């Protein structure tokens, strides 16, 4: 196993421990045990629990951003890409449910600098989505009079709430969820 692969294994173990115990109750020895390594090995990669936590969040954000970019750069209409974004989000939540729960439940322990960094990354994700909307308007797929920011927020919020409910509360796996009805509502409206 390469050093990078070992680091990712530690991050995945940390996600499970932080998710289950919370930031303050999580211990480096618990993370080491979950990863099947010694505590000293964890400290060989991360100076502190805070550094590990910070890196875990950055890892989750980067992983999500890469997947989102792949969907948005792919072929298809705005509607088809939106469906794929919904599916990607659901797949990500299911695969990284422990990291997702940390984003939702542990934000109070994020240092101010980390919250700023996360907000900056979130704005990059919104910007990527907004570019898709702008391109859809240019290509004639979407109405000219649409406010790109409102459409971006509608899609992003719908994705988050739709899969948040389905995965966290209803305990569905992403492959049991069909986003098409939700996307139809977004694209056709309520009336």
SS3 for 142? coil
Taking the model in full, what pTM does it have? Answer: 0.84
Whether the CB-CB separation of 84 and 76 falls below 8 Å is answered with yes
Residue 55: burial class (beta carbons within 10 Å; 0-12, 13-18, 19+): middle
pLDDT in tens, the chain (191 residues): 899 999 999 999 998 898 888 888 899 999 999 999 999 999 999 999 989 988 988 888 888 999 999 999 999 999 999 999 999 999 988 887 777 777 777 677 777 887 788 889 889 999 999 999 999 999 999 999 999 999 999 999 999 999 889 988 898 988 999 999 999 999 998 87
Whether the CB-CB separation of 55 and 65 falls below 8 Å is answered with no
Rounded CA separation 129/155 (Å): 8
Rounded CA separation 191/182 (Å): 14
Q: Which of 167, 177, 27 is nearest to 101 (CA)?
A: 167
Domains in the chain, start-ordered, CATH in brackets?
A: 57-188 (1.10.357.10)
- Tokens standing for 108? 């109070």
Rounded CA separation 77/69 (Å): 15
SS3 for 18? helix
Rounded CA separation 93/60 (Å): 10
């Amino acid at each position: 196993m390469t050093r990078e692969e070992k680091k990712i294994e530690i991050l995945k173990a940390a996600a499970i421990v932080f998710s289950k115990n919370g930031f303050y109750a999580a211990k480096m020895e618990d993370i080491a045990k979950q990863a099947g390594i010694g505590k000293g090995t964890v400290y060989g990669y991360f100076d502190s629990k805070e550094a590990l936590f910070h890196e875990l969040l950055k890892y989750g954000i980067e992983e999500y951003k890469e997947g989102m970019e792949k969907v948005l750069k792919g072929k298809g209409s705005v509607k088809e890409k939106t469906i794929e974004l919904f599916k990607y989000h659901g797949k990500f939540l299911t695969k990284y449910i422990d990291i997702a729960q940390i984003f939702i439940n542990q934000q109070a322990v994020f240092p101010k600098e980390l919250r700023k960094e996360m907000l900056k990354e979130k704005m990059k994700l919104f910007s990527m989505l907004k570019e898709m909307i702008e391109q859809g308007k240019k290509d004639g797929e979407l109405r000219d009079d649409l406010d790109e920011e409102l459409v971006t927020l509608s899609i992003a919020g719908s994705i988050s709430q739709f899969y948040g409910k389905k995965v966290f509360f209803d305990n569905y796996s992403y492959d049991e969820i069909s986003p098409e009805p939700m996307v139809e509502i977004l694209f056709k409206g309520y009336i």
